[in-house]
């Protein structure tokens, strides 16, 4: 299946540019600069060199034998190790690209929103590296469950602004970042952290993450002599998933499987399962896509144990892939994700981000269905250092005094 992107940035019916007029000129400027940059060997060369010498690309792939044998029905499970990138997640791929574009546009300040903190840390890192001022918006709830990343951002010189509106999570941080951008667009670039938002963000962010799938596909052919039966990734906004999926879209024999934050379960009303809950298409944060909303078009608050998946909307290209049947999306409950978190930690010595644990939980389900002949590629989008406190509480590993400390 070959996919084309029409001029207005639509993926089928999805995408578009639903923004205040004040931002349209900036979006057009961004689109023009990124098109020129992607065709400019000096830009591509600079980004590639940063990926090699700063991020640590290419990231390796790791066969996780015990995890596959003991928890995935004997399936061969291979992890794409985005957790080994500098700053600990895939987020750095996109941020380095956008920070370079910020400098090309002559802007001096970046802003970002963050849920789990990974995107905020990556943005603060790139800003420090390139001498840009940086402000990161983060829902108050998320600053509390991801306190370590708040400290990391501040150590890197960024201003972290807790957001007290609405559900005080990622959605509200995005609103606040848009408000800042409307007021300061002349000198500020909004480093949007995922594959949603107004055109050109969904396409641009995907293109900066596409390196994940390009590397992984070549590595699978090189090390296993064939393509995987399925590629699995967690989907909040969906940037790591689009990054690894995109190179496989034309490989019709490869199933693309996205795992959403199922929270307490899709029937519970407390979840972030946009495709499997009661979400329908609508407009949120600049794009027409699936949105958790009530019968009056008001956004419903999402829930996930993972701050990075706790978002009521999803990237428009995922909506297109879902409707066209090219990709499948399933919810993973908080309990299932934490079970996978523990399983991967105990069998392989790898602490995944709780986001990524959703993808590992998907491998446990699909592996059991497909059995030992299956070859599964799982995107381990981030590492779990930031989630140690949450996991320790979940499993009751610390006594009261230790937990408070």
Give the interface with other proteins as residue ranges (CB under 8 A).
Answer: 8, 16-26, 28, 165-166, 171, 175, 178-179, 182-186, 282-286, 291, 293, 295-299
Distance, in Å, from the CA atom of 233 to the CA atom of 360, rounded to the nearest integer, reads 8
Q: What is the DSSP string of 57-87?
A: PSPPEEE-HHHHHHHSTT-EEEEEEGGGSTT
What span, in angstroms and rounded, lies between the C-alpha atoms of 196 and 158? 24
Q: Report the nearest approach of other proteins to the CB of residue 299 (Å).
A: 4
β-pair type (159-163, 255-263): unpaired
CB-based contacts of 50, cutoff 8 Å, min separation 6 = 96, 100
* 214/300 with CB nearer other proteins: 300
- Residue 238 backbone zone (phi > 0: left; psi -120 to 50: alpha; other: beta): left
Residue number, 183 or 392, with CB nearest to other proteins: 183
Shortest Å distance, C-beta 301 to other proteins: 9
Contact 309, 236 (CB under 8 A): yes
Round to whole Å and give the CA distance between 270 and 53: 42
Residues designated catalytic = 91, 113, 381
In the complex with other proteins, which residue's Cβ is closer, 90 or 171?
Answer: 171
Minimum CB distance to other proteins smaller for 50 or for 291: 291
Nearer to other proteins, 10 or 247 (CB): 10
- CA dist., res. 264 & res. 266, Å (int): 7
Residue 385 is given by DSSP the state: G
Per DSSP, 51 falls in state I
């Amino acid at each position: 299946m070959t996919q084309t992107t029409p001029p207005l940035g639509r993926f089928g019916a999805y995408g578009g540019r639903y923004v205040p007029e004040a931002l349209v000129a900036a979006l057009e400027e961004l689109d023009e600069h990124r098109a020129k940059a992607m065709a400019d060997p000096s830009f591509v060369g600079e980004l590639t060199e940063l990926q090699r010498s700063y991020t640590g690309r290419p990231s390796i792939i790791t066969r996780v034998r015990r995890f596959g044998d003991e928890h995935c029905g004997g399936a061969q499970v291979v992890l794409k190790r985005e957790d080994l990138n500098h700053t600990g997640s895939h987020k750095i791929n996109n941020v380095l690209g956008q920070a370079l574009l910020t400098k090309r546009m002559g802007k001096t300040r970046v802003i970002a929103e963050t849920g789990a903190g990974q995107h905020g840390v990556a943005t603060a890192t790139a800003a420090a590296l390139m001498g840009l001022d940086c402000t990161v918006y983060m829902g108050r709830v998320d600053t509390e469950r991801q306190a370590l990343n708040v400290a990391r951002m501040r150590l890197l010189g960024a201003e972290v602004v807790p957001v007290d509106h609405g559900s005080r999570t990622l959605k509200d941080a995005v609103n606040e970042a848009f408000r800042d951008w409307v007021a300061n667009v002349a000198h500020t670039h909004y480093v949007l952290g995922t594959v949603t938002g107004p055109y050109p963000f969904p396409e641009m962010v995907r293109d900066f993450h596409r390196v994940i799938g390009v590397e992984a596909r070549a590595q699978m052919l090189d090390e296993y002599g064939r393509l995987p039966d399925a590629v699995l990734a967690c989907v909040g906004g969906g940037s790591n998933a689009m990054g690894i999926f995109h190179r496989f879209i034309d490989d019709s024999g490869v199933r693309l499987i996205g795992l959403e934050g199922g929270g307490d379960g899709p029937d519970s009303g407390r979840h972030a399962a946009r495709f499997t809950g009661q979400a329908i298409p609508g407009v949120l944060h600049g794009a027409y896509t699936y949105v958790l909303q009530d019968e009056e078009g008001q956004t419903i608050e999402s829930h996930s144990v993972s701050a990075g998946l706790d978002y009521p909307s999803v990237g428009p290209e995922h909506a297109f892939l879902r409707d066209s049947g090219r990709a499948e999306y399933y919810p993973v409950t908080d309990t299932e994700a934490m079970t996978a978190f523990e399983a991967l930690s105990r069998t392989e010595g790898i602490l995944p981000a709780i986001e990524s644990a959703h993808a590992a939980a998907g491998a446990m389900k699909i592996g059991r269905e497909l059995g030992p002949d299956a070859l599964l590629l799982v995107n381990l989008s981030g590492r779990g250092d930031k989630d140690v406190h949450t996991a320790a509480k979940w499993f009751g590993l610390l006594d009261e005094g230790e937990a408070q400390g």
